[in-house]
Structure 1
Amino acid sequence: MTETVSGAVKPSAKQQLVLTAERLFAQRGLDGVPLRQIGIEAGMANKSAVQYHFGSKERLVQAILLNRLEQLTRHRELLQARAPVDDLRRVVEAHLLPLIELAEDRDCFYLPFLEQLLRHDYSVSPLDALPGEHRESHERYVNRVGALIEHVPDTLRHNRIHQVSAMCLHACADRQRALSFGAPVVGYAVHVSALLDGFVAYLAAQPSPETLDAMAGAEPVRPPIRALP
């Protein structure tokens, strides 16, 4: 909930804590920020404001994810509804574009927060504890992409989808850092189109004989989709 003061929308205490935690975790890592410090920087008088509103750091992290994912999921669903099911580039664009757009907002710390989250504990997928609608949206995307690259062996197919999500996250976080420091970057349209070119080429590439030989004696592994798209 928010309050309106002099025509401006003021974030609620919970929302202010979420945004402050997102920024501090992005800058210092999940183990580098005491919960008390989050409350202080959010302007809370109560030194235990995080515990009062969220109970634990884990629930605060989930609140940060949900704060962004609710809008991201809605945006993706709208774009996916307009994307031809047989057009790999459009399917990938519909799913990744909402994330790519966040890099243009210098006041949004979600991308570097995700990088820190993935470094924090690689054994646990942050998708696992999210509401079903977000997991199901992601699974639909994975299935749509998988159906368009059936010529790629199953294990390799899922690994590529996983790696494209990771590459998108890191490429966009790098761009956001460059923008924040005033470093020169390519224009937004070129950035998006070139990323999609690379992602689609990687997803659809025919495996080489060398890769197929290497896979022949390897135990099949289907990695979780770690990088939140």
Structure 2
Amino acid sequence: MTTSDGATGRSVEPPATGSTREIILATAERLFAEHGVYNVSNRQISEAAGQGNNAAVHYHFGTKNDLITALVERHQDALARRRADYVARVGEHPGLRDWVSCFVLPVADHLAALGKPTWFARFNAQLVTDPTLHPILEQRFRADPAMATVLEGIHRCVEQLPPEVRAERAAITGHLMMHMVADRERALARGRPTTRETWRDTADGLIDAIVGLWQAPAS
């Protein structure tokens, strides 16, 4: 059954397979990525997902924040497994580039594995900058042992920097990575040319830039 995309008014075909929860999650992620988290209502998601009950999102997830949390969880388990695998392979004497690679490559690999199109990066980029939604993402990152290991490894490599500078650069690192992959995802969705040919190429450029960021002198 064709339904209307409540955020734009255009007709869309809802996902044809999967559980109702998964269909709602996939639809919500797409609408949030394309139109913005605050520009899409639960009712619009239910309609675009082909649900006869306009309260389907509330029934399956609860509040909008509960839905956003479920979307974060939808990807973070896969990211955590990839990150743990990279951490296990860093060797006995990892350097700064090794640890930064463990930060960037799981995201690039995950986006490549999702196929085309993707909405994950544009959705997550909104959470990174929103003071209300960021704690949802931050809490999940802090629960990942591999992420903690990566951050500790990076900090050990730059112990000469004052703690407040390291905290600042950690924040810049997260913003830089999420917004750069979101920019590439957006360009791919619109059929525009990208600076890097593949997600792995994109990761290489990001790793170079982030390593340079951490090695820069503190004024």
TM-score, normalised relative to structure 2: 0.82
Q: Please say if residues 106 and 176 of structure 1, whose CA atoms lie closer than 8 Å, have aligned partners that are also in contact.
A: no
SS state at 1:142 partner: helix
Q: Distance in 2 between matches of 1:67 and 1:11?
A: 14
Pair 1:54-2:61 in alignment: yes
What is the match of residue 206 of structure 1?
217
Q: Distance in 1 between matches of 2:134 and 2:118?
A: 24
Pair 1:77-2:84 in alignment: yes
Match of 1:67 among 61, 74, 85: 74
SS state at 1:117 partner: helix
What is the match of residue 179 of structure 1?
188
What is the match of residue 121 of structure 2?
111
Relative contact order (alpha carbons < 8 A, sep ≥ 6): 1 or 2 greater? 1
Q: Distance in 1 between matches of 2:80 and 2:170?
A: 18
Structure 1 residues 12 and 123: alpha-carbon distance in aligned structure 2, compared to 1, 3 A threshold: closer
What is the match of residue 104 of structure 2?
96
Moved over 4 A (4+): none
Unaligned runs of 5+ in 2: 1-15
Q: Distance in 2 between matches of 1:88 and 1:155?
A: 19
Q: Distance in 2 between matches of 1:24 and 1:52?
A: 19
- CA shift for structure 1 position 56: 0.8
Q: Distance in 2 between matches of 1:48 and 1:122?
A: 24
TM-score, normalised relative to structure 1: 0.78
Aligned-partner residue type, residue 55 of structure 2: S
Structure 1 residues 127 and 140: alpha-carbon distance in aligned structure 2, compared to 1, 3 A threshold: farther
What is the match of residue 33 of structure 1?
40
Q: Please say if residues 100 and 168 of structure 1, whose CA atoms lie closer than 8 Å, have aligned partners that are also in contact.
A: no
Aligned pair count reads 199
Which segment drifts farther, 101-110 or 179-188? 101-110
Q: Distance in 1 between matches of 2:49 and 2:133?
A: 30
Cα deviations by residue, 1:143-171 (Å, 9 ceiling, x for unpaired): 11101111111110121122111101111
SS state at 1:187 partner: coil
Match of 2:146 among 137, 142, 150: 137
- CA shift for structure 1 position 194: 2.1
Match of 1:159 among 165, 168, 173: 168
CA RMSD after TM alignment: 2.2
- CA shift for structure 1 position 140: 2.3
Q: Please say if residues 121 and 178 of structure 2, whose CA atoms lie closer than 8 Å, have aligned partners that are also in contact.
A: yes
SS state at 2:172 partner: helix
Q: Distance in 2 between matches of 1:70 and 1:123?
A: 19
Percent identity between matched residues is 28
